Structure 1
Amino acid sequence: MGKRMRDDEEDAGEVALRKAGMKLPSNIKNKHKRSAEYAKVRAEKIKEKKQRIKARDTAERQAVELGETPPPRQVPKTIENTREADETVAQPDDEELQVDDGVDEFSGHFARAQMPKLLITTSQECSSPTRKFIKELLTVIPNATFYKRGSYDLKQIVKFAKNRDFTTMFVVNENRKQPNGLLMIALPEGPTAHFKLSSIKLSKKIKGHGKPTSHMPELLLNNFTTRLGHRVGRLFASVFPQDPQFRGRRAVTFHNQRDFIFFRHHRYIFEEKEIKELAPVTIGVNSDKKSRKAAPKTVKKNAVVARLQECGPRFTLKLQSLQSGTFDSKYGEYEWVHKPDMDTSRRRFFL
């Protein structure tokens, strides 16, 4: 993204030089002279940008002093707000989606008919980093139990979990002694989601990390906008109890951005803090310049602010497939599978 913005700036600089009838830096054959010319063009663009920002801030300040509405700022273009249109984006008043939610595999959980109960296991070969990661998952997710995989087949473990009333099953896979995949199986009827697991950072590696309590955490699901994203979000929600204990001030977040799901675990606290804000304009428009200068620009005010302390772990998930029913790699019916040709556009998202 940053490289593309720099390229756009350089293209704009070349257009300006061409209009002015000057020689383009790209046409200079000597490398050192070409680099020096590029540096000059870039320095001029930075200078112009600073002047525009200064002029904008001055105009906003003058508008506030005169009691007028400041001119609106331009909204920068990002990959998110220029994403390709998607017909599967779920609307709040979608009656069909509400009916589907009432009869899907997670309807019992959201009706509080059963308490979530999680079984966590691994691939047949389990290394120390994977065990450390699972140990931290057990502190985050309530009612979670770890079972060693041994030589058992995955279908046998699914049957074992069903017989003991587990509602969800996690299988942490690894490659080269590092966890790299997560299989989530909703029991007893599915679905099964396979995620690529990356960017794992345990609590000890997080600076200033906190120690979580045993209270039931709050769950935050952000930006799961499509039908597929809505289904994946309900799968995550089915792992956590529906009645969080707010006294513990714990929050677990699944944040979707560009189809990467970022997991975070925090503790929070609300406290009063003295902040500064713009002072209300009390001087008339016709008052002299000296009076306007003497008027206070900011005032101190007590406000309630939130402070966060990350507890860990943190990791990133990328959906690879969503399968109907429980795990069946041979005869399973897939609802969605990620394929390489889906990545042809940077502005196309599925969750």
Structure 2
Amino acid sequence: MARKSKSRDAPTVIHGKRADLKEIKNKMIRSKLYRDQAKARNTEEHKMRHERAKMESMDPSLKEERLANNVPDTLDSKRVFDESIDAEKEGTDEFDNYFSNDKMPKILLTTSKGARKEAYELKEELLDILPNSEFIKRGSKFSLKEIAKFCNNRAYTDIVVINEDKKLVNGITFIHLPEGPTMTFSLTSLRMPKQISGHGRSTNHIPELILNNFSTSMGVTVGRLFQSLFPKLPEFVGRQAVTLHNQRDYIFFRRHRYIFKNKDRVGLQELGPQFTLKLRKFQKGIYEEVEWEHKSGMDKEKRKFFL
């Protein structure tokens, strides 16, 4: 049995005849030839990388040119934006009343009916994160529309509802007042500060809000929802930042405290909590017309993103 050629795509030679590995019926021979081919390819590639590194060390421009011409494709670079929702332009949507004046947000925080321990633990964290917020325990007799009417009569700007199922927090609903919209998010990967190694303690300062990658018309609307929960003038002296990072329609929530160590370095300490949000439903008004809803079939198109 002759050994195969060193060429990457050269056919295997068996008993003086060329043959494709798929045509070899003996499993042991086929496996050995496959290993030989893989070893030869690795040896050749290693030699090529070594020679390329030697040339690039002598001429750095070669490396710059190679990197510029070999940008890998990713889901993010191939993303297809969904513009089926014709959200209004910034400054003319449901949040215009908040952004067009100096009104401070006033937030009522509550839970779904019959909430348990985990919802109340998250409630304490959200009270610490959202300035000018207060908690009212959810009664079993009142619907959210009735609660919204109560809040409108008392100058609240937003309602935040922690949703719980089977003793676990599984979502958050945001209602912007006085007339909506309502946005429902699923919540996963919840980690409280005590579960984060080396976490810090927050202060009473208004945090900075950082929004990343809210690019589509729907994404801009979702970003303005989060902006409306925080006063427009953060207290930078507190060195606290709340980050909402959108990646492939998953919104990652993080909170940090930072300090400038020198001109080029910034130290970060996570405060917590951590969780991930995904928009499930967008409704005009207060639990009224459904403008957009996430459906299971939407996940089949891996390159299409809505935020």
Please state which band the TM-score falls in when normalised by the shorter chain.
0.7 to 0.9
Q: Could you tell me which residue of structure 2 aligns to residue 292 of structure 1?
A: none
**Superimposed CA distance per residue, residues 47-81 of structure 1 (whole angstroms, 9 cap, x where no aligned partner):** 555555544443332224xx888424021111110
Structure 1 unaligned blocks of 5 or more:
1-14, 91-95, 273-302
Q: Using a 3 Å threshold, how does the CA distance of structure 1 residues 168 and 89 change in structure 2: closer, same or farther?
A: closer
Residue type at the aligned position of 1:306: V
Matched, 1:61 2:50: no
Matched, 1:333 2:293: no
User: Is 1:130–1:172's contact at 8 Å kept on the other side of the alignment?
Assistant: yes
Q: Using a 3 Å threshold, how does the CA distance of structure 1 residues 85 and 317 change in structure 2: closer, same or farther?
A: closer
Q: Could you tell me which residue of structure 2 aligns to residue 240 of structure 1?
A: 230
Measured in 1, the distance between the counterparts of 2:139 and 2:53 equals 65
Q: Using a 3 Å threshold, how does the CA distance of structure 1 residues 23 and 147 change in structure 2: closer, same or farther?
A: same
Measured in 2, the distance between the counterparts of 1:37 and 1:119 equals 69
Q: Could you tell me which residue of structure 1 aligns to residue 78 of structure 2?
A: 82
**Which secondary structure state, in structure 2, belongs to the residue aligned with residue 109 of structure 1?**
helix
**Which secondary structure state, in structure 1, belongs to the residue aligned with residue 59 of structure 2?**
helix
Deviation for aligned residue 1:130: 1.4
Q: Using a 3 Å threshold, how does the CA distance of structure 1 residues 192 and 63 change in structure 2: closer, same or farther?
A: same
More off after superposition, 179-188 vs 107-116: 107-116
Q: Using a 3 Å threshold, how does the CA distance of structure 1 residues 18 and 220 change in structure 2: closer, same or farther?
A: same
Residue type at the aligned position of 2:286: T
**Which secondary structure state, in structure 2, belongs to the residue aligned with residue 253 of structure 1?**
strand
- Residues 122-201 of structure 1 mapped to structure 2, 5 A cutoff: 122-151=111-140, 152-201=142-191
Deviation for aligned residue 1:118: 1.2
Measured in 2, the distance between the counterparts of 1:158 and 1:33 equals 74
**Which secondary structure state, in structure 1, belongs to the residue aligned with residue 149 of structure 2?**
helix
**Superimposed CA distance per residue, residues 89-119 of structure 1 (whole angstroms, 9 cap, x where no aligned partner):** 99xxxxx96xx32232212222333101111
Structure 2 unaligned blocks of 5 or more:
1-6, 13-17
User: Is 1:89–1:226's contact at 8 Å kept on the other side of the alignment?
Assistant: no
Residue type at the aligned position of 1:150: G
**Which secondary structure state, in structure 2, belongs to the residue aligned with residue 120 of structure 1?**
strand
User: Is 2:189–2:275's contact at 8 Å kept on the other side of the alignment?
Assistant: yes
- Residues 1-351 of structure 1 mapped to structure 2, 5 A cutoff: 16=8, 19=11, 23-24=20-21, 30=27, 50-51=46-47, 53-64=49-60, 70-73=64-67, 74-84=70-80, 86=82, 100-151=89-140, 152-272=142-262, 303-327=263-287, 332-351=288-307
Q: Using a 3 Å threshold, how does the CA distance of structure 1 residues 117 and 36 change in structure 2: closer, same or farther?
A: farther
Q: Using a 3 Å threshold, how does the CA distance of structure 1 residues 24 and 206 change in structure 2: closer, same or farther?
A: farther
Deviation for aligned residue 1:166: 1.2
Residue type at the aligned position of 1:168: D
User: Is 1:324–1:333's contact at 8 Å kept on the other side of the alignment?
Assistant: yes
**Which secondary structure state, in structure 2, belongs to the residue aligned with residue 197 of structure 1?**
strand
Superposition RMSD in Å: 2.9
Measured in 2, the distance between the counterparts of 1:121 and 1:26 equals 67
- TM norm structure 2: 0.85
User: Is 2:8–2:41's contact at 8 Å kept on the other side of the alignment?
Assistant: no
Deviation for aligned residue 1:349: 0.7
